[in-house]
Amino acid sequence: MSDSNEVPTDPTLERRTRRRFSAAEKQRLLAEVDALPRGEKGEWLRRNGLYAAQLTQWRQTLAETGTQGLEPKTGGRKPTDPRDREIAKLRREKEQLEHRAQVAEDLVELQKKLRDLVARAGNDERSQ
């Protein structure tokens, strides 16, 4: 009987992680596959767990940007530029100030209307 605290060791339950290749490793793999005879490339791809499209992409990147383009990319969000944060902050402040100015203008209009109503009411009382 097995212990209930045992973790199953079934390989299908293991979480796979994405493989990352360095630029040197990508170049080595490209050279290795290029040295193979015509009929052995499919077997080599299967054995190494790669796809032909990956190799094509690596070749294209190498041709366009050189070895630096083959370096693995860092994940996650790109860090924001301090100027972009400052611009966003200033835009928010501008919107708040515009809103406050609109409220103030609306209050002035309301006061004018109230003054006109009070003046009419005073004139109506005098005329009676």
- Rounded to a whole number, what is the distance in angstroms from the first to the last CA of the chain? 106
Which amino acid is present at 63? A
> Residues 7-52: pLDDT tens digits?
556 666 677 777 888 889 999 999 999 998 988 999 999 999 999 9
23 and 66 co-located in one domain: yes
Question: What rounded mean pLDDT belongs to the chain?
Answer: 85
Domain-embedded: residue 10: no
33 near 41, Cβ under 8 Å?
A: yes
105 domain residue, yes or no: yes
Q: How far apart are alpha carbons 23 and 72 in whole angstroms?
A: 7
pTM across the whole model: 0.47
Q: What is the pLDDT of residue 12?
A: 62
Q: Which domain holds residue 59?
A: 19-70
Q: What is the pLDDT of residues 96-107, one digit of tens each?
A: 999 999 999 999
pLDDT number for residue 101: 98
Using DSSP's 3-state secondary structure scheme, residue 54 falls into helix
Identify whether 5 is part of a domain.
Answer: no
Residue 128 lies in a domain: yes
57 & 86 share domain: no
Check: CB of residue 56 under 8 Å from CB of residue 29. no
In total, how many domains does the chain have? 2
Average pLDDT over residues 61-69: 84
